[in-house]
Amino acid sequence: MRVLLSGSSGLIGRALAGDLAADGHGVVRLARPGAAAPTASGAVAWDPAAGHLDRAALEAAGPYDAVVHLAGAGIGDRRWNDARRREIRSSRVTATTLLAEALAGLDPRPAVLVSASAVGYYGDRGDEAVGEDSPAGTGFLAEVCVAWEAATAPAAAVGIRVVTLRTGVVLTGGGGALAKLLPLFRLGLGGRLGSGRQYLSWITLDDEVAVIRRAVDDTSLAGPLNATAPTPVTNAEFTHALGRALRRPAVLWVPRPVLEVALGADMTREMLLGGQRVLPRALLAAGHRFGHPELEGALAALVSTAP
């Protein structure tokens, strides 16, 4: 199998590229200007911000059996201002449109496009359990996700099977949110955020890679697909579970005003104090089995191997 991959330098992209290569699949990387030398079997230049994708190179490196599109600016890397919001949106919507239109023009076309999205699609839903058929929520992240998923339309219009992957918080000891929390929790400085009642929909990195591989291979899957473990937890439950995994107290509390001073009101409201109780109903209906369906077991495994 030959796979075209964007976002290969990110947390998920690196793991996916390695997993595909280990199974003998060819990986062609979409690489931005100035990106590090590819570790995959080939690269095609693109610059979504400039609206450029080297279509001649794209065709020459093909044909592709599948495309996995994971590129996008980090939503939690820095405070949001107007410029950062535009970058977050453009890096997803403009880039996805550019890629989908290019794929539609290929001959032969790939059979499937797995395009990243996020559980932010659902907005802040309190303790309501949501599945793939639940409506979009409100707020900046929900609006971005709606436009992000809609940008795959040029590929779907020509018969490419499109899966939009609504991913939760990806847990791994080697990066992402958990790696940032571990030093604090190891020092006994872990604590809940705000009330702690907001839901966290999570998935381990290994399970995320497995879900992407399932989405590529399983022709019964199309449209939105929740990439989350089947047991979402509240922030308070996550805090206590991580404290237990590290055998450290986790009894502190970070109030809303402190978070707002550090990160801004909008980012605090949508990313830290808002939540989604997301269920992977489509995957469960397809018989998918998670390697780490429960948080306690997942954290025990991740903490034991974390740097």
Average pLDDT over residues 3-19: 96
Residue 133 has pLDDT above 80, yes or no: yes
**Cβ-contact 119, 274 below 8 angstroms:** no
Task: Convert the pLDDT of each residue in 160-173 to its tens digit.
Answer: 999 999 999 999 99
Residue matched to tokens 């820095």: 78
Average pLDDT over residues 286-307: 94
- In this prediction, residue 305 carries a pLDDT of 84
What radius of gyration, in Å, describes the C-alpha atoms of the chain? 19
- In this prediction, residue 41 carries a pLDDT of 58
Strand partners of residue 227: 167
Q: Where are the domains of the chain?
A: 2-171+205-228
Task: Convert the pLDDT of each residue in 218-255 to its tens digit.
Answer: 999 999 999 999 999 999 999 999 999 999 999 999 99
- In this prediction, residue 304 carries a pLDDT of 87
Average pLDDT over residues 119-142: 97
Residue 213 has pLDDT above 80, yes or no: yes
CATH pick for 2-171+205-228 out of 3.40.50.800, 3.40.50.720, 3.30.499.10, 1.10.10.10: 3.40.50.720
CA 297 to chain centre: 21
Strand partners of residue 163: 114, 223
**Cβ-contact 68, 114 below 8 angstroms:** yes
**Cα(164)–Cα(185) distance, rounded to whole angstroms?**
34
The length of the chain is 307
- In this prediction, residue 281 carries a pLDDT of 98
Q: At what angle do helices 235-246 and 295-305 cross, to 10 degrees?
A: 40
- In this prediction, residue 40 carries a pLDDT of 44
- In this prediction, residue 37 carries a pLDDT of 42
Q: What is the average pLDDT score of the chain?
A: 94
pTM: 0.95
Task: Convert the pLDDT of each residue in 12-53 to its tens digit.
Answer: 999 999 999 999 999 999 998 765 544 445 899 999 999 999
Residue matched to tokens 């900046």: 140
Residue 194 has pLDDT above 50, yes or no: yes
DSSP code per residue over the chain: -EEEEESTTSHHHHHHHHHHHHTT-EEEEEE-TTPPPPSSSEEEEEEGGGTEE-HHHHHHH---SEEEE-----SSSS---HHHHHHHHHHHHHHHHHHHHHHHT-SSPPSEEEEEEEGGGG---TT-EE-TTSPP--SHHHHHHHHHHHTTHHHHHTT-EEEEEEE-EEEBTTBHHHHHHHHHHHTT--EEETTS-SEE-EEEHHHHHHHHHHHHH-TT--EEEEES-S--EEHHHHHHHHHHHHT----EEE-HHHHHHHH-HHHIIIIIS---EE--HHHHHTT---S--SHHHHHHHHHHH--
Task: Convert the pLDDT of each residue in 250-261 to its tens digit.
Answer: 999 999 999 999
Average pLDDT over residues 277-305: 96
